[in-house]
Amino acid sequence: MRLLIPIDGSSLSQAAVDFVASRSTLMASRPEIELLNVQYPIPSRAARVAGQELVREYHAAEAESVIEPALEALRAAGLKPTVTSVVGSPATEVVKRAQAVAADLIVMGSHGHTGFKKLLFGSVTGAVLASSTTPLLVLRDKLAADTDSLKVGIALDGSDYGIAAVNFLLRHRDLFGALPTVTLVHVVPDLLNLVDPSLFDNQPVTAAKRAQVEALHLAAFEKVMAPARERLASTGLRLSEVRLTGNNVGDEIAAWADKTELDVLVIGSHGDGALLSAMLGSVATRVATQCRNALLFIQQQ
């Protein structure tokens, strides 16, 4: 597995490094890890005054101060990561480097207490998510556990994006530990609260009507679960399924993830490099707005 970890010296980027270093099953598989530090350019006028050599020395010194703690943590885990340091726009350089090294995953940290709107509009993490098709693990305020085997939730909606999330788990099982607990979750609409009461002549909903709605819920749930269940059936993973009911899918999933104390919630989404058109207002955005858990976005073109 090839991992790209952007680092900037913040506690959040160090948390991303520490999380990777804590994955003992992953470490045993000897993943290829690259640390990427991006230094902002010195304003051109100041650079001319200082001179190119001084600017280079400044950038080199700043990069070294950021890189060394991350290197120590990964070397202590028995790894020999590569290091790249560049000058430019952080999000742009992260996306370019992920493509250049064919990274399987980018691991980044982002504050979660201000909601996903801040992540969407302005932060480096949001800009990477907006323009990259490489899977992205975002560690939030509620960090993923440092134990090896994780509690993983995969949100399914019946689309290919959910299946892409399942396929990522199967390709990179070591990331999730030796014995991860995997829960497939799907939200069915609350049909009784969706329909116009006048359809029932404003009469109380009968037991027969409730049974009819329950049958519809079961059929919809089974249709979504069956393809993922088939892929996971013979893997030996500890697997369970959860059916939620509600008409705000993102809120339901986020509340469940928090209550269940998931380590990582996996969400499949569009990966066409246009986050605002692909995700804004979508279930994935709503989940991320409400969810404090680590989020793994599997983007599919």
Q: What is the pLDDT of residues 71-119, one digit of tens each?
A: 999 999 888 999 999 999 999 999 999 999 999 999 998 754 444 445 4
Q: What pTM value is reported for the model?
A: 0.86
Full strand arrangement of the beta sheet holding 136-139: 82-87, 32-39, 2-6, 105-109, 136-139, 294-300, 264-270, 151-155, 181-188, 238-245
Q: Is 268 helix (H, G, I), strand (E, B) or coil?
A: strand
- Per residue in 123-158, pLDDT (tens digit) is 788 788 878 889 999 887 656 667 899 999 999 988
By the 10 Å C-beta count (0-12 exposed, 13-18 middle, 19+ buried), 292 is classed as middle
pLDDT of residue 200: 52
More confident call, 207 vs 70:
70
Contact (Cβ atoms closer than 8 angstroms) between residue 228 and residue 258? no
Residue 24 has pLDDT above 80, yes or no: yes
d(C-alpha 35, C-alpha 5), whole Å = 5
pLDDT range class, residue 293, cuts 50, 70, 90: confident
Residue 211 one-letter amino acid: A
By the 10 Å C-beta count (0-12 exposed, 13-18 middle, 19+ buried), 199 is classed as exposed
- Per residue in 209-233, pLDDT (tens digit) is 788 888 888 999 999 999 999 999 8
**Residues facing residue 188 across a β-bridge:** 245
Residue 27: CB atoms within 10 Å: 18
Of residues 179, 120, 188, the one with CA closest to residue 151: 179
Most confident stretch, 32-36, 58-62, 71-75, 271-275: 32-36
Residue 272 has pLDDT above 50, yes or no: no
Which residue carries 């800009």 as its tokens?
127
By the 10 Å C-beta count (0-12 exposed, 13-18 middle, 19+ buried), 271 is classed as buried
pLDDT of residue 249: 86
pLDDT of residue 211: 86
Which residue carries 């990274």 as its tokens?
103
Q: Where are the alpha helices (DSSP H) in 102-183?
A: 116-120, 124-131, 160-171
Mean pLDDT of 250-273: 83
More confident call, 250 vs 199:
250
For the chain, the average pLDDT equals 83
d(C-alpha 284, C-alpha 289), whole Å = 9
Of residues 153, 185, 158, the one with CA closest to residue 169: 153
Contact (Cβ atoms closer than 8 angstroms) between residue 271 and residue 130? no
Mean pLDDT of 12-40: 91
**Residues facing residue 268 across a β-bridge:** 298
Dig out the tokens for 240 from the structure: 């369970």
pLDDT of residue 3: 97
Query: For residue 46, what are the CA distances in angstroms to 43, 51, 56, 87, 164?
Result: 5, 8, 13, 15, 48
Percent of the chain with pLDDT strictly greater than 70: 82
More confident call, 150 vs 203:
150
Contact (Cβ atoms closer than 8 angstroms) between residue 66 and residue 6? no
